[in-house]
Structure 1
């Protein structure tokens, strides 16, 4: 999300259904990162569905950086992935 010291905002309302990472200003100062699927984007508020199925609303004005990220890979049954030879 950072490019040569600059924060970059790369998502748009067209990204509905995409998994995104957003960095927002934290009320106490600093930043908080949220990853989730964009469920809605209306009147300057995004609703993101997190991995644990909870939702969070994010004001577009609070976003300082964002990007689309790859989907979570499916979990493998049986534990650990195979190791390379």
Structure 2
């Protein structure tokens, strides 16, 4: 029995919008990650809503992608005692 793991592009194409993902992709000089909710995935690019902005990533630059658990709840600010 052989189970095949989908490629990062296949995973993103089949993931439901709203799925929390991390996507590693190439940039000049190395790699970077986008962590957030998948908004959409088209034929040539996907969009991930991170905490700071919507990131549009060309699928040809993606080297890894996977689903991740929901973000933990944010902590309350500390108060001076």
- Tell me the TM-score normalized by structure 1: 0.69
Extract unaligned runs of 5+ from structure 1. 1-7, 80-85
Higher helix fraction: Structure 1 or Structure 2?
Answer: 2
- Give, in angstroms, the shift of residue 43 of structure 1: 2.3
Extract unaligned runs of 5+ from structure 2. 1-6
Kindly report the root-mean-square deviation, in angstroms, between the aligned alpha carbons of the 2 structures: 1.9
Alignment of 1:3-82 (within 5 A): 9=8, 11-15=11-15, 16-26=17-27, 28-52=28-52, 54-77=53-76, 79=78
- Tell me the TM-score normalized by structure 2: 0.72
* 4+ residue runs over 6 A deviation: none
